[in-house]
Amino acid sequence: MWGFITVMVDALIPRLKDVFELTYLQAGLVQFAWFTAYGVISIPGGRLIKKMGYKNGILVGLSLAALGCLIFYPAASTRLFGLFLLALFVVASGITVLQVAANPYISVLGSEEGASSRLNLAQAFNSLGTTIAPIISATYLLSDSVKTGAQQALMAPEVLEGYRAAEASAVQVPFVVIALAFLALAGVIAMVTLPRILEGNAGGGDTKSVLSDRRLLAGAAGIFVYVGAEVALGSYMVNYGLHLGVQEMIDSTPILHKMASLAASIKGQAVGGMDPKAQLGVLLTFYWGGAMIGRFIGAALMQRIRPGILLSVFAVIAAFLVVTSMMASGLTALLALLAVGLFNSIMFPTIFTLGIENLGDSKPQGSGVLCTAIVGGAFIPPAFGALVDVSGFSLALVLPVLCYFYIAGFGYVFGSKGSRMAA
């Protein structure tokens, strides 16, 4: 669920950019509102779970996420950008509590050596939502062209009212459905008896004590740059495709045309009737779907290869693909960037498990610290957008390249228990 809605947020960026006629930097505030929640809520969320138990914490997280989705309804009706940002923050706060609960639990279900493999496998199923989301978001959020303020000023009042009602509905319907799904899931969990490990104390120690672990701090920096790079690329992929003029090549590329046709058919449209943003939005399935496939592959490879080494290799390949996109043009440039998703796949779960490896009973507190670092998604995408505004996409892509180089270094240094740099 949280993978699905996170990608839905990516689709909101090109739509809100058009609705409110935003710069790339201003559009980046969408991700700022979303990921700031991780920085604000993660550590308090860890304390909440310690006091309430994991089951009650999960219920709080699901309820918050549902509430945030429902706030999209008045936000779309009133066309208030600030209300959209509030809705995003509330949803993300709920997702943060869920992340803080789930990740350390998975890591302690079995042996320490298999923690990275288990979390990669679990994240692979989460990625199923991120794979489906681009088609759904392209269908509902991006399928119609947004009229500029000048165009709306020329419309008759009754026509303008109908247009804005339809525009609001395009956002309201999917997020109300997601809210109901969160509430239904909360109802199921409330009636289920969770495994005993979830009901006990969330672990010993406190946040201050775990902050002395250098491995954890390096992992937090790794999570910061990884999330920032992944979100920056995913958030601006549609606009990058428009910049490259790729939408004109979709009809001549059979697999791309079929995917766009699938999204169009859901709403009874022809591909030609879709807004170019929707056609390109469908292609994000390759980016997020690659992450799902890569996590299954990664979970298997980690049975034979040390997680840290595999992390370094994947990060170097991701950096190479971004550089390739910078140097290429047209469809080649876009496909190279879409392929980065495959190599992003193992990064979060692997950095996460390496970061909390030495913490013992304090893993939940370490999880809170690492989840706080997800706030990288609040800062790097707006910085990326500002670079695009000033110098264009090619130079802006240097930023994720630097992020991937750091991840490669982290994997190399902290890739084994015996690392001399480990705390």
* Spatial contact of 23 and 290, defined as CB atoms under 8 Å apart: no
Domain locations in the chain as residue ranges: 2-413
Task: Identify the residue with better confidence: 404 or 378.
Answer: 404
Tokens matching residue 47: 């304390």
Model confidence at 134: pLDDT above 50 = yes
Q: Which residue, 372, 369, 400, 406, is CA-closest to 384? A: 400
Q: How many CA atoms lie within 13 A of 321 on its CB side?
A: 21
Average pLDDT, the chain: 76
15-to-1, 8, 179, 238, 280 alpha-carbon distances in Å: 22, 11, 20, 10, 13
Model confidence at 66: pLDDT above 60 = yes
What's the distance, CA 111 to chain centroid?
Answer: 28
Q: For residues 231 and 377, what is the distance between their CA atoms, to the nearest angstrom?
A: 6
Tokens matching residue 240: 């990058």
With bands split at pLDDT 50, 70 and 90, how would you rate the model's confidence at 135?
A: low
Q: For residues 339 and 233, what is the distance between their CA atoms, to the nearest angstrom?
A: 11
Tokens matching residue 207: 């946040």
Model confidence at 110: pLDDT above 90 = no
Rounded to 5°, angle at Cα 307 from 348 and 357: 75
User: What was the pLDDT predicted at 199?
Assistant: 44
- Which pLDDT tens digit goes with each residue over 341-379? 899 988 988 898 888 777 766 666 777 788 888 889 888
What's the distance, CA 132 to chain centroid?
Answer: 13
Q: How many CA atoms lie within 13 A of 27 on its CB side?
A: 28
Model confidence at 164: pLDDT above 80 = no
Q: For residues 133 and 148, what is the distance between their CA atoms, to the nearest angstrom?
A: 26
- pTM for the structure as a whole: 0.70
| Mean local confidence (pLDDT), 192-216 | 62
Q: Does domain 2-413 have CATH number 3.30.9.10?
A: no
| Mean local confidence (pLDDT), 247-261 | 70
Residue 176, Cβ density class (10 Å: 0-12 exposed, 13-18 middle, ≥19 buried):
middle
Rounded to 5°, angle at Cα 314 from 310 and 320: 150
User: What was the pLDDT predicted at 119?
Assistant: 55
Three-state SS letters, 147-192 = CCHHHHHCCCHHHHHHHHHHHHHHHHHHHHHHHHHHHHHHHHHHHC
* Spatial contact of 294 and 344, defined as CB atoms under 8 Å apart: yes
The torsion region of residue 133 among left (phi > 0), alpha (psi -120 to 50) and beta comes to alpha
Residue 51, Cβ density class (10 Å: 0-12 exposed, 13-18 middle, ≥19 buried):
exposed
| Mean local confidence (pLDDT), 208-215 | 76
Residues 6+ apart with CB under 8 A from 288: 3, 7, 127, 130, 131, 133, 134, 234, 341
Q: Which residue, 3, 49, 34, is CA-closest to 366? A: 49
Among 112-116, 280-284, 305-309, 339-343, which range has the highest average pLDDT?
Answer: 339-343
Q: For residues 271 and 48, what is the distance between their CA atoms, to the nearest angstrom?
A: 48
* Spatial contact of 117 and 303, defined as CB atoms under 8 Å apart: yes
